[in-house]
Amino acid sequence: MRKITIKDIAVALNKSQSTVSKALAGREDVSAETKKLIIDYATKFNFQKNKFGSSLRTGKSKLIGVLLPDITDKFSVSLLSELEDELSETDYNFILMQSKGDINIEKRCIDKLFDRGIDGLIILQIDKHINSDRLKELENLGLPIIMIDRNIGQFLGEVEKLKVNNSRYSTINGIGRKAILQVITNCEQK
């Protein structure tokens, strides 16, 4: 059986696609009776929202790009586990890319993630100076970027910026937190 669409529901119930879309979105400008009819039908036939269509309409992909040099080290595994825990409570997902410690791969990954329409980027850069211009360009285009694993002295300006713009960064995980605190310690076992 093929996936049911808003158009299919509209035809089956003799309603406009606009009415079906509004009802499924929970809008108030659809009568309770019509809304119930549409939702019951959609549930019966396992209707699933088209995430790509929603993305085009809202301009939000609900995707966070994560770029790490090595996804097998303990720090990366721990970071990914925590990120998955946080995002599981939201509509967001993440796309993971690995640079394998290669600056050129890192640049290609940054560009690929941006081309996918990510709503934010979490990156552990190989070298803080290389690809920084590209990251600054993306940030100037409105892409929230969180850089991790940096010496606090090297990025004091970035920390101050994070304090000033914490509401922008809190939207990355979609849970409305008002402040973000990141504490990094030496994760190597001695």
Average pLDDT over residues 14-29: 88
CB 31 within 8 A of CB 45: no
Question: Has residue 71 got a pLDDT over 80?
Answer: yes
CB 42 within 8 A of CB 4: yes
Question: Which range is least confidently modeled, 28-37, 45-54, 90-99, 106-115?
Answer: 45-54
Question: Has residue 35 got a pLDDT over 70?
Answer: yes
The rounded radius of gyration (Å) of the Cα atoms in the chain is 21
120: which residues sit within 8 A by CB, 6+ positions away? 64, 65, 143, 144, 145, 146, 171, 172
Query: What SS3 class is residue 170?
Result: helix
8: which residues sit within 8 A by CB, 6+ positions away? 45
Question: Has residue 169 got a pLDDT over 70?
Answer: no
pLDDT value at residue 174: 56
Question: Has residue 98 got a pLDDT over 90?
Answer: yes
pLDDT tens digits, residue range 40-56?
A: 998 998 888 777 666 66
Query: What SS3 class is residue 133?
Result: helix
Residues comprising the chain, all counted: 190
pLDDT value at residue 91: 81
Domains and CATH numbers, the chain: 6-49 (no CATH), 60-170 (3.40.50.2300)
Question: Which range is least confidently modeled, 59-68, 85-94, 171-180?
Answer: 171-180
Question: Contacts by 77-83 with C-beta closer than 8 Å and gap 24+?
Answer: 78/187, 79/124, 79/148, 83/122
Please name every residue paired with 68 in a beta bridge, in sequence order, or none if there are none: 98
Which tokens in the block code for residue 13?
């119930």
pLDDT cut 90: percent of the chain above it: 14
Confidence of residue 95 (pLDDT cuts 50, 70, 90): very high
Please name every residue paired with 96 in a beta bridge, in sequence order, or none if there are none: 66
Count of CB atoms situated within 10 Å of the CB of 159:
13
pLDDT value at residue 185: 46
